[in-house]
Amino acid sequence: MQSYISCESLFREWINMKPHGYILSLGHNRSDEHLKLHHSNCIVLNANIVGHGGNSTVMVCSDSSNELVNWARLNFWNEPHFCEACRPDL
Ligand SMILES: [Zn+2]
């Protein structure tokens, strides 16, 4: 089940609840070139969230990386990039 999160406090709650989940970050302008798939514990993702005050970064969270890839295909007609730091698996 995926959830759509656009604020920092909700995001932190989610990764605490789901340390083995996956996160698709949409970046600040929500364009497909910024679609990136991360593992919940990604240090790059966490560092980015801290730096931006949270409200402008939109993320989709799920237990399943496959679900997020499908979500990106449905909503952006595109494949997400896979983060080089946390290397999420499908
Ligand atoms: Zn990552």
In this predicted model, what pLDDT tens digit does every residue of 13-47 receive, in sequence order? 888 899 999 999 887 666 666 789 999 989 888 77
The angle at the Cα of 15, spanning 38 to 33, to the nearest 5 degrees, equals 30
Distance (Å) from CA 73 to ligand 1 centroid: 19
Q: Does the global pTM surpass 0.85? A: no
Distance (Å) from CA 42 to ligand 1 centroid: 4
Distance (Å) from CA 44 to ligand 1 centroid: 6
How far, in Å, are 55, 67, 81 from residue 36 at the CA level? 18, 13, 5
Spatial distance between the Cα atoms of 14 and 30, rounded to a whole number of angstroms: 20
Contacts of 47 (CB under 8 A, 6+ apart): none
* Selection from 67, 54, 53, 56 nearest residue 24 by Cα: 67
pLDDT score for 54? 47
Distance (Å) from CA 83 to ligand 1 centroid: 4
CB 85 within 8 A of CB 42: yes
Distance (Å) from CA 24 to ligand 1 centroid: 9
